[in-house]
Structure 1
Amino acid sequence: MPPSRSLRLSTALLTGALLLGGLATTPAAADVPAATAATTAVRVNQVGYLPDGPKRATVVTTAAQALGWQLRNASGAVVASGSTVPRGADAPSGQSVQVADFSSHRAAGTGYVLTVDGTSSAPFDIRVDLYDTLRSDSMAFFHHQRSGIAIDASLVGSAYARPAGHLGVAPNTGDVSVPCQAGVCDYTQDVRGGWYDAGDHGKYVVNGGISTWLVVNSFERAERAGKEAALGDSTLRVPERGNGIPDVLDEARWELDFLMRMQVPDGKPHAGMAFHKIHDAAWTGMPTRPEQDSQPRELHRPSTAATLNLAAAAAQCARVFRPYDSAYADRCLSAARRAWSAAQTNPAMYAPDSDSTGGGAYGDTRVTDEFYWAAAELYAATGESAYRDALTSSSWHTSADAFSPYGFGWADTAALGRLVLATVPNGLPAADTARIRASVTAAADGYLSRMAAQGYAVPVPADGYFWGSNGEVANDAVVMAVAGELTGDARYRAGALETMDYLLGRNALGLSYVTGHGETSSQNQHHRFWAHQLDASLPRPPAGSLAGGPNSALQDPVAEERLRGCAPAACYVDHIDSYSTNEVAVNWNAPLAWLAAYAAERTSAGGEPPTASCTVTYAVSNVWSTGFTATVTVKNTGPAAVDGWQLAWTYPAGQRVTSSWNATVTQSGTAVNARHADWNRTIAPGATVSFGVQGTHTGSTPSPTDFTLNAGTCA
């Protein structure tokens, strides 16, 4: 795990005593192998590949010379062939590997197999709708994790249906009137609802905040891309479908309501702050269905970190929900303002690492990053100078370290502020916005560099396999996808998609970490209800749940016993009692759901790269000593309309765009990307669109000569 930053200590060493007390030695648990053995040395994304995406496989071999590969279709016919690229020793996996690249094959089909040196991969597909099911399943995870509502068989199937948990129905003591720990408060609070955080029955504001933000942000990003319909009303398996509000926002609202219930009421000490967490007074045993949990529940002392998570998530709610439910948006904004003011009054109420009985501590004694994130969201929601001043005076605003070496996480949230400011229109100076966007692409470039240096193309460092490493991999993919949005550079989309390859089987174990997706996937994730390995009457985890992943610290008894001496990327065991490698958590499934929605979007009707036939005229209309203006005219010369156009070019003499009209123009280095406005997003056959830019120069303003429209070269 990152030095001094505990990314996940929920059911860690504390649960060990419970498991060692007998549950870990049941016959069902004892007969599971240390890790699921890879069935082949040819590691692929076991779900498959997009026709227009990268298609690479990693081959485990001691051979030093390049090997021949063949891609066969379901009939066994060879449809493509080539040679691997030797990579040699891959430190994270401890393996010697080569890489096969078959990206040039774009024909859709099912049952493909890649054969290298006589060894064949698991079968996989190449198709446009590859990730549609995962988009739905990964988002359904949150409905499965809902507290305080019955989970209906009509939505999840009979195996996963259950009564509502923690509503005060015996044997539950319930969450409708929860007392505080001794000395924290002298009243009770209604904190029903929300998502169970992980494999236990705790609910944590700091994990809920970042998870909610990612779920809502997935819809925001889809809106910016004009693809929000795929997450709209009646698209997901939620009980609120058909209410006129996008289903992904309905799901987020279940957690937002809980987060706001965790706010200390007016008239009480620390009013406006948020209680850090609510969970059982002691650890519950394995397995325990939510409605059968008889433990008393407790509220834990408020914290500044939790309060700022509430402020950020509620401010985002105020922006995104307003077109659908303005009254709810107003409620969210009121809660966000109260939380911000309370955090300013109480800037150093830290959650202690020692508070770890019955639930994870989530200790965090550095909250300047949460202040920056919350200020960014409140400024984006209101445009008010007080929030602008708070964020621009933050040390994080100019820091190059907003994206930590491990990306971002519940304890490292400055990057979320950067992503907000990079993508949501605001009143910051153009130079500030350009610098913020450049920091996003710089972080993405770092992830791409790591991927290029590793045999399995993983964006985390070689020492980055800590508790919840799969969540960090998915978080890094989010950053790469946003960088692609800002620049139009296809490298970032390719990087984001290749992280999906890693999660779905192209990894050191040849195992898909996402339940139900892939030929060989995780089946025994640590969970108190999805506990078939301990009780055959209970189900396995539902499709779409992401295992925490390799953790080289080996922080549970099963991992310590079975994985001793493992290479970092192989420190995983598909065993229900290996909570440090195989637990689930909302903050790991949230970036998976974000990424699945992104990957499922169609780039064009046929899945091929969204090319276009076009001509571009770039005319400099005015030049002065340090600046210029230019008009850009794009003509669609093809037979079909171009919908959602983006035009990219490179300036040959270091010109810098400072403003634009009739298009949103961003720049990273010399690369420029212009994106349509709402009213001119479609260019009909034979039609033109024009937009303008103003910028600076250093002595000359030669016109760019090469333009691409939606990745197609223009004349």
Structure 2
Amino acid sequence: MNKMRLCALFLLVLTSLSGVAQDTWIRVNQLGYKSAGKKVAVWASKTDKKVSSFTLKDKKTNKVVYKGKSSKAFGAYGPFVQSYRLDFSAFLKPGRYIVEVDGVASPEIRIGEDVYNGTADFTLRYMRQQRTLFNPFLKDSCHTHDGFTLYGASAGLKDSTQIDVGGGWHDASDYLQYATTSANATYHLLAAYRDFPNVFTDYKQANGLDGSNGIKDVLDEAKWGLDWLVKMHPQPHIMFNQIADDRDHASMRMPGEDPFYGRGYERPVYFIDGKPQQRGKFLNNTTGTSSTAAKFVSAFNLGAQLFASKNVDYSQLLQQKAETAFSFAHQKLGVTQTVSVKSPYIYAEDNWVDDMELAYATMYGRNKDQKYVDGALKYAREESITPWLVKDTANHYQYYPFINLGHYELAKQLDGAKREEIIAYYKEGIEQVWGRAQQNAFYRGVPFIWCSNNLTVSFAIQCVWYAELTKDKQYEELMQANIDWLFGVNPWGTSMVYGLPAWGDTPVDPHSAFTHLHNYPIDGGLVDGPVYTSIFNNLIGIRLNEEDEYKNFQSDLVVYHDDYGDYSSNEPTMDGTASLIYLLASQEQQETRKKDRYGVLVQGDTTARKVSLVFTGHDLNDGKDVIAEVLRKNKVEASFFFTGDFLRNPENQLFLNAIKSKHYIGPHSDKHLLYAPWEKRDSTIISRENFLKDLEDNYRALQAVGIKKDNALFFMPAYEWYNDDVVRWASTLGLYTVNYTPGLRTAADYTFPGMGNKYMSSEAILEQLYNRADLKNLNGHIILVHLGVDERRADKLYNRLPELINGLKKRGYSFVKINELLAQ
């Protein structure tokens, strides 16, 4: 149970003890709301109360900054008797706020244009963790013996022929692998890179381990999928649909080798022959080769396009594979379903013309042959609207993908009446959902079938694409409501993405071996989502393992459980997460601030000639008075990061009193702890508990000198040394970890002549700083100077501070505090 849930439980206990049970809640998007976007919270109650207005309060000052009128009363929904929408879209100022109605307050709300920044990269972590063959999270290999063929006789493959198809991603929290979901996931990752390249970073190698390789990490991940698809289509007449089957479910375990299939560690690889297949008593409804093969075509074509300038040979290989996959899709028109042996649950995909439309559209994008436009239009008209949008129901993966990807790719390439025709299909589908959504306060029009979160993501993407194609924003609020639903504007008030946001109520007990067996975080994994109570009650093998923390919000309509035992609503899926990466990327703004490989802010707005002077202090304080006087005379505002030991030192009290009203003061750890070895940075040498206690002690020391935590949310780690653990732990306290800008050498002012080659004189430091300013620029740079240095260094950089300030002012730079430089 996470910290927020413990706090919520504590509040419930208090209200119970006082005799007052909570019956009203305000649900908000825990990630936050864009300043210029739609911003709506949902008020919901178990009593028939009336609401006419609400207030928005600044969290820091508790002052009312906005008053709004509530929506009409929407009445009952799920566990609630009454509900209203609270729209504060007219309020634009970035910051942290609380919505309040009649004494009931919402969780904290963040407003800013960058509230989604970094989320797509964060979610990408789950995809890397799902890798098979070599798993970078575990730093180990798995499923290296895949596999032996089944049903390949028509292609000259006897059953049990050994074939190398190692690679790709595990499908969910089990270790089956499906070509249909993997090809769709690959396409979404490629499209995310194509459409939003600037939101992604490059901190990983192609194998998923740390280290930049000159390729954005999302493209590395997409290539991991493409490489596997190439293996699954090794020859023009050979294509495979899945590796393993539901015998995989024999136990929950880590992804080692699986001896469940009678061939040692080899797993079965199912050939696509266009006919129904069975291995036990269950027969699927396969009718052809088109659905899976067409998805291959689209992924190969888009991959060929994106790698054309990066790897010509690879791009040409993908083009060849697209051509042969296109032929394979036409061998027998129809759908290819997955195979199950012991249970009745399969990916019962029932439509395939949408896949063919996308295949034809991507072929046209590469070849510009009119026959491909004609083919795409033909298939577009055969299924103009994805059926679940109209029917409001579906079997498991019956209409997959859950969005018609082909309409978007085709419409972009058409003009005139044909373009308008395709776009109208999107609008009609959105209208079908809107007709249902406008009946409830959550604007929920997506059915609660298995993997409802995947449908929610796909529908939001359809709204995004419709707005892009038409510039029509009439469905903006509906689109945003679906995103908001995923991050807390739902009856349970929880995010549906593991660990996102770090400070929020997110899944902590998913149906996953990684978390269940070893407490490994599955960062970024999108869980299946709520299901109709009628579905939940009829599923096989579900049993909740703990008391339901959301029991107050379950209903006869729908349930969601953050419980390992509920595989229907709380199991993360690889393909749903890949779609979410695209959606989140579409919501990100191009970042003008910069972060390092660990996600630490190391540079402010790169477009503005502003810099921030930062001083750190622990046990050495010889420069404090000089620095304070220079800043005063030059009217420069700066930032200071102090340890608790520095703050408690009586020698520093006059100095602290002199600077605290003018400058930013933040935490630097209480005891100046080293968090990780110098020689092995990723090995954390402090426990999470000790790290958090040390920071809390640091904040108590800040409080003692008059610095409130809310005014000191930027944290500079001791020694300016940290790793992923440190940054993640700090974020759970709502902190932003910062460091000086890489490449600057001002931090070398701690060195002294006895350190040999490490020593750098103040003259050399300043020369390097000015050269960087003249040859590049210092826009947004964070410039670190130590408040005190070893007595063996006679050449104190802080004595050259007037020169440094004047030198940068002459070059057009202004000095701001770090909270202003990194303002959100």
Scaled by the length of structure 1, the TM-score of the pair is 0.68
Distance 1:327 1:141, change over 3 A: same
- Give the counterpart letter for 2:189 in structure 1: V
> How much has 1:332 moved relative to structure 2?
1.2
Answering whether residue 410 of structure 2 is matched by residue 421 of structure 1, we say yes
Answering whether residue 184 of structure 2 is matched by residue 214 of structure 1, we say no
- Give the counterpart letter for 2:471 in structure 1: G
C-alpha contact 1:484 1:490 (8 A) present in aligned 2: yes
1:317 is aligned to 303
Give unmatched runs, 5+ long, in structure 2: 1-7, 13-21, 262-266, 275-288, 594-824
1:495 is aligned to 478
2:332 is aligned to 346
- After TM superposition, the structure 1 stretch with the greater mean CA deviation from structure 2, 114-123 or 181-190, is 181-190
Q: Residue 118 of structure 2 aligns to a residue in which SS?
A: helix
Distance 1:281 1:500, change over 3 A: closer
1:363 is aligned to 348
C-alpha contact 2:183 2:299 (8 A) present in aligned 1: yes
Provide the rounded CA distance (Å) in 2 between the counterparts of 1:585 and 1:299. Answer: 21
- Give the counterpart letter for 1:178 in structure 2: F
2:118 is aligned to 133
Structure with greater helix percent: 2
Query: Which residue of 175, 199, 209 maps to 1:230?
Result: 199
Distance 1:398 1:367, change over 3 A: closer
Query: Which residue of 32, 37, 40 maps to 1:53?
Result: 37
- What are the residue-to-residue correspondences of 1:52-91 with 2, within 5 Å? 52-61=36-45, 62-75=47-60, 76-91=62-77
Query: Which residue of 217, 229, 243 maps to 1:259?
Result: 229
Query: Which residue of 468, 477, 500 maps to 2:460?
Result: 477
- What are the residue-to-residue correspondences of 1:481-630 with 2, within 5 Å? 481-518=464-501, 519-531=504-516, 535=517, 538-552=518-532, 553-554=535-536, 555-558=539-542, 566-567=554-555, 570-602=558-590
1:619 is aligned to none
2:316 is aligned to 330
1:439 is aligned to 425
The structure having more radius of gyration, on CA atoms, is 2
- After TM superposition, the structure 1 stretch with the greater mean CA deviation from structure 2, 295-304 or 479-488, is 295-304
Provide the rounded CA distance (Å) in 1 between the counterparts of 2:319 and 2:270. Answer: 24
Query: Which residue of 272, 275, 282 maps to 2:240?
Result: 275
C-alpha contact 2:246 2:340 (8 A) present in aligned 1: no
Scaled by the length of structure 2, the TM-score of the pair is 0.59
Distance 1:442 1:239, change over 3 A: farther
The C-alpha deviation readout for 1:530-554, integer Å capped at 9, x for no partner, is: 32xxx3xx12542321111111111
Provide the rounded CA distance (Å) in 1 between the counterparts of 2:348 and 2:407. Answer: 23
Provide the rounded CA distance (Å) in 1 between the counterparts of 2:222 and 2:101. Answer: 45
> How much has 1:447 moved relative to structure 2?
4.0
- Give the counterpart letter for 1:214 in structure 2: H
Provide the rounded CA distance (Å) in 1 between the counterparts of 2:316 and 2:295. Answer: 18
> How much has 1:316 moved relative to structure 2?
2.1
> How much has 1:197 moved relative to structure 2?
0.7
- Give the counterpart letter for 1:166 in structure 2: H
The C-alpha deviation readout for 1:25-76, integer Å capped at 9, x for no partner, is: xxxxxxxx99x99996111112221111111111112345324322222222
Distance 1:39 1:501, change over 3 A: farther
Give unmatched runs, 5+ long, in structure 1: 1-32, 153-160, 168-173, 223-227, 606-715
- Give the counterpart letter for 1:123 in structure 2: E
> How much has 1:404 moved relative to structure 2?
4.2
Provide the rounded CA distance (Å) in 2 between the counterparts of 1:241 and 1:491. Answer: 43
2:141 is aligned to 164
Structure with greater strand percent: 1
Provide the rounded CA distance (Å) in 1 between the counterparts of 2:124 and 2:105. Answer: 32
> How much has 1:334 moved relative to structure 2?
0.9
C-alpha contact 1:114 1:121 (8 A) present in aligned 2: yes
> How much has 1:574 moved relative to structure 2?
0.7
- What are the residue-to-residue correspondences of 1:643-654 with 2, within 5 Å? none
Distance 1:429 1:498, change over 3 A: closer
> How much has 1:234 moved relative to structure 2?
4.3
C-alpha contact 2:199 2:591 (8 A) present in aligned 1: no
Distance 1:95 1:310, change over 3 A: farther
Distance 1:367 1:339, change over 3 A: same
The C-alpha deviation readout for 1:61-101, integer Å capped at 9, x for no partner, is: 23453243222222222222233224232445654211211
The C-alpha deviation readout for 1:448-486, integer Å capped at 9, x for no partner, is: 4544332112341xxx10110011011001011111111
> How much has 1:182 moved relative to structure 2?
9.1
Q: Residue 136 of structure 1 aligns to a residue in which SS?
A: helix
C-alpha contact 2:42 2:86 (8 A) present in aligned 1: yes
> How much has 1:236 moved relative to structure 2?
9.7
